[in-house]
Structure 1
């Protein structure tokens, strides 16, 4: 992947772990390649994540995916919109730890996503 990649720290809450990555995304058609790139990175272990949620704004197009975590894609898309990010993708990985977090999961998802975006100066 030729563009800068920014990572959050891993955040663990009641046995669930959250991790976010953000990068430049010049065009939505590049999204599948970016996700493949992330899954192939050594030492991130994202292939074993229970959920992969993302949002992007690229070339005037916005999109998102909940990755099995209902409503998370919308929240990530709103974060990109509110922060004014353009030509950016943010991906949040969650490893479910067996304990339901209720509304705290939204806080954790937003927290790591915001950290990755800030880390990359997006």
Structure 2
């Protein structure tokens, strides 16, 4: 799994982004399980994810961060990036971020896409 690590911090919450190529739901589940083998990711408040499968369409998981998975789906659609799982991880810092949390998800996904596309 390609991990960019911590991308940003806001009011104590920390965000990281990870991803890799996948071909089906079983690969998504295996990747999420593998990510959570790392103690810090297992203890994260949210591991929000999404993928556009060329065979099966979009899949997403909000992991308690309602609406965040759809943000990732929309960004993948705009880039036409299929069969690539992106996971945005948040460690809650004790203060509610309101709508800013969605901007932070976008920032993380953009950083990941910029890194992957320029490789």
TM-score by length of 2: 0.89
Matched, 1:53 2:48: yes
Matched, 1:25 2:22: yes
Unmatched segments (≥5 aa) in structure 2: none
Runs of 4+ aligned structure 1 residues displaced above 6 Å come to none
Give distance in 2, aligned partners of 1:24 and 1:59. Answer: 12
Paired residues in the alignment total: 117
* CA RMSD, 1 decimal: 1.7
Within the candidate set 69, 91, 100, 1:104 is matched to: 100
Unmatched segments (≥5 aa) in structure 1: none
Partner of 2:117: 121
Deviation per CA, 1:82-107: give whole Å up to 9, x if none: 11111111001111111111111111
Partner of 1:37: 34
TM-score by length of 1: 0.87
